[in-house]
């Protein structure tokens, strides 16, 4: 999901100027999704299709199609006779996402270490990019990189079905990460340390240590539970 705003009108099919341009629907999806992730639209806020179409530079039809896709990914709820509303992530959903992630990620870590596969390629580069985004306080970029970091762990075990299941959580995982770091930016050094410790444990093929680190990394933090409960 890009953070770039696109200009110009588009009928919906896109054109080609040496390479394919994204369709109006895809541009609307990218723009609205990024706006939700970066807090342009707050949780609980209703979205106006006309205003969105003007922002993106399309007709209302691609916007409506994008909103249906965003509903499927649980960014918004389509409320009868009222339109699209940005979903509110509550404490229960936060806990369930972390629980699901731990089940999949810990299984992947154990199998990777049992097979002596070490840390995934590019792990260190992703950590460094995350830390750079953190220094810029670019929470959206950091959340996207964080998801890519953990998804690469899951893919590294070689189970395509589990990787697909994990990727299905991506929109909610990224959105949750953005809100989590926004609510508690003081946890940034802790998050960075845990990422580096996990990379080291995987590089050493230490499955038990990797699972213990994931258990801590994906734990319920009381202040965050309170924030998501409000």
Under a CB-based contact definition with an 8 Å cutoff, are residues 170 and 151 in contact?
yes
Query: pLDDT tens digits for 104-144?
Result: 999 999 999 999 999 999 999 999 999 999 999 999 899 99
Does domain 91-229 bear CATH number 1.20.1250.20? no
Tell the residue number behind the tokens 């596969």, with chain if given. Answer: 117
Tokens found for residue 111 = 């199998």
**pLDDT digits 0-9 by tens, 175-223:** 888 888 888 899 999 999 999 999 999 999 999 999 999 999 998 776 6
Q: How far apart are CA 197 and CA 203, in angstroms?
A: 10
Residue 2 banded pLDDT, cuts 50, 70, 90:
very low
For the chain, the structural domain boundaries read 24-86, 91-229
- Does residue 99 register a pLDDT over 70? yes
Could you tell me which of 105, 85, 106 has the C-alpha nearest to residue 43?
Answer: 85
Does 24-86 carry CATH code 1.20.120.140? no
Q: What are phi and psi of 76, to 5 degrees?
A: -135, 165
């Amino acid at each position: 999901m890009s953070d770039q705003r696109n200009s110009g009108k588009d009928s919906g099919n896109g054109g080609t100027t040496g390479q394919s341009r994204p369709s109006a629907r895809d541009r609307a999806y990218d723009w609205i999704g990024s706006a939700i992730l970066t807090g342009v639209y707050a949780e609980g806020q209703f979205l106006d299709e006309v205003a969105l179409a003007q922002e993106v530079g399309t007709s209302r039809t691609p916007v409506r199609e994008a909103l249906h896709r965003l509903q499927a990914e649980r960014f918004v709820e389509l409320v009868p006779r009222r339109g699209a509303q940005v979903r509110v992530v509550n404490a229960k959903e936060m806990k369930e996402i972390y629980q699901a992630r731990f089940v999949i990620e810990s299984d992947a870590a154990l199998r990777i270490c049992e097979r002596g596969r070490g840390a995934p390629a590019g792990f260190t580069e992703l950590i460094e990019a995350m830390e750079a985004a953190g220094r810029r306080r670019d929470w959206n970029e950091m959340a996207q990189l964080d998801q890519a970091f953990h998804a690469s762990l899951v893919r590294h075990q070689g189970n395509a079905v589990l990787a697909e299941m994990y990727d299905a959580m991506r929109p909610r995982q990224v959105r949750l990460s953005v809100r989590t770091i926004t609510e508690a930016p003081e946890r940034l050094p802790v998050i960075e340390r845990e990422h580096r410790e996990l990379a080291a444990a995987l590089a050493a093929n230490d499955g038990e240590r990797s699972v213990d680190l994931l258990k801590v990394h994906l734990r319920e933090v009381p202040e965050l539970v309170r924030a998501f409960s409000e």
